[in-house]
Amino acid sequence: MATSMSGPIMSGLEIRGPIEPGFEEILTPEAMAFLAELEGRFGPERLRLLDVRTKRQALLDRGHRPDFLPETRAIREADWTVSPLPVDLLDRRVEITGPVDRKMVINALNSGAKIFMADYEDATCPTWTNLVEGQINIRDAVRRTIAHEDPASGKKYRLNDKIAVLKIRPRGWHLHENHVLMDGEPMSGALFDFGLHVFHNAQELLARGSGPYFYLPKLESHFEARLWREVFLVAEEYLHLPHGSIKATVLIETILAAFEMDEILYELREHSAGLNCGRWDYIFSFIKKFRKDPAAVMPDRAEVTMATPFLSAYSQLAVRTCHRRGAPAIGGMAAFIPVKGDPEANEVAFSRVRADKEREASNGHDGTWVAHPGLVPVAREVFDAYMPTPNQIARKRSDVTVTAADLLAVPAGPKTEAGLRNNVAVGIGYIEAWLRGQGCVPLFNLMEDAATAEISRTQLWQWVHTATALDDGRVVTLDLVDRVIAEELAAWKSRVGAAAYAKGRYADAAALFRDLVASEDFTDFLTLPAYERVVAEGA
């Protein structure tokens, strides 16, 4: 039986979420004391850096454009490398990502991928239950005791003898954990996710020949990487971990971080496991940062592929930067998923994934991401053919030169009602699932998570607020968006059936989506107001 919402106060932290059976094994007094140490030391700096983000955005709104930093030129020009990689991070040719629910954790670890990134961020709706049960699931996976029986089918899930290496993606610096308060204020979601995992599992992982490995999302500067480094150093000292045993791959998924790749690697050089091209958040970030500039309007979401020049430049710059520093550069997510019952559509999806991975491997990436176990063999086949060695770090790509103008080049392409309509349909479909506690969902043969849904939402905001014209001459107005929202709500009812529609959150999702698009003040992340709603509903 759970405790009340006003849970125990431990080590200066007040737990506001219910303590369900088993939660007390994660939320121990010792673990909470560690979280209090992290939040007390680093919470104020996190908030200061978020304020810096706001000030940088104000400059961008006034027309300023980013460039490589003159004050860190010496770091970019100097010869240095990151610390050597652990043995189990040398070969990362295929990585799979997904949420932290129990069946997904087992399937991903068994998928044949080299790495599984268990995601507390874009693929997980951060309800209290999802987060703490996720910690339980990961704890059990680390100790290889995890098991699951599907209540509907009776199918039993167990770990294979050979499983993927585990990496954890905590939430970004911008997200709070409203169920744990310090001095009456929500603590950092990132520190909550990181702290509980490293506290409970770091020593066990090291004893098993691996280590506490992380992905760090949505960094916007090397100062934000420096904060993570300081967190790692304190965690290693507090928990008596070997210096440098915590390793982290930084997702370059903001346009501002793309100008500071060297500096980010330098800040984390003792803890670095390279960089990853988080393409979907990167596209979202590009639109968001230049949202008020009519000259920075992108075409339909489907037209913005890795073949576009600004994304190709970003990919190749990441490879060149990482390899010069002895670090791996991991490619981005293939959002396509297998299409059941339609062999022709399935082959189209697989061929697109294959072409995407061939591009990455040719550029020199040392591995790639997929979102579905069915795509692991496709990606692995490509990287086995292009990369017979564990990685391509020896391939320095000194032939690559990328300028600020290359990174900031806005792609050309059509802007159509079909693109607008797809943005609305995806936005409603994803937010509807999120409000029900689901952080990633297959929609229209793609795996949508917060990053992909953000592109749809942000693009519509920009089209409306810059009075963008579609190719047929119509200006995208809020009236047009309202009409399409009404039509797409009806389409969702037809797709899922009246009963499922009535049980779902489609009208709520459409209202939130509409509010986000209509608001004069752009909301930095759709998950912020969505999180407030699920917390208010007791989730």
Q: Which residues are catalytic?
A: 169, 449
Strand partners, 95: 115, 369
Please give the structure tokens belonging to residue 490.
Answer: 């009806």
Q: How far apart are CA 455 and CA 299, in angstroms?
A: 11
Q: Are 277 and 252 in contact (CB under 8 A)?
A: yes
Three-state SS letters, 445-513: CEEECHHHHHHHHHHHHHHHHCCCECCCCCECCHHHHHHHHHHHHHHHHHHHCHHHHHHCCHHHHHHHH
Q: How far apart are alpha carbons 406 and 370 in whole angstroms?
A: 27
Beta carbons of 148 and 39 less than 8 angstroms apart: no
Closest CA to 314 of 409, 226, 455, 219: 409
Reported as half-sphere exposure (CB side, CA atoms, 13 A), residue 412 has a value of 0
Instruction: Report yes or no: 526 and 449 within 8 Å, Cβ to Cβ.
Output: no
Cα 532-534-537 angle, rounded to 5 deg = 105
CA 101 to chain centre: 16
Closest CA to 323 of 376, 261, 267: 261
Cα separation, 278 vs 289, in Å, equals 16
* φ, ψ at 64 (rounded to 5°): -65, 145
What DSSP element (H or E) covers 117?
strand 115-119
CA separation for the pair 81, 158 (Å, rounded): 40
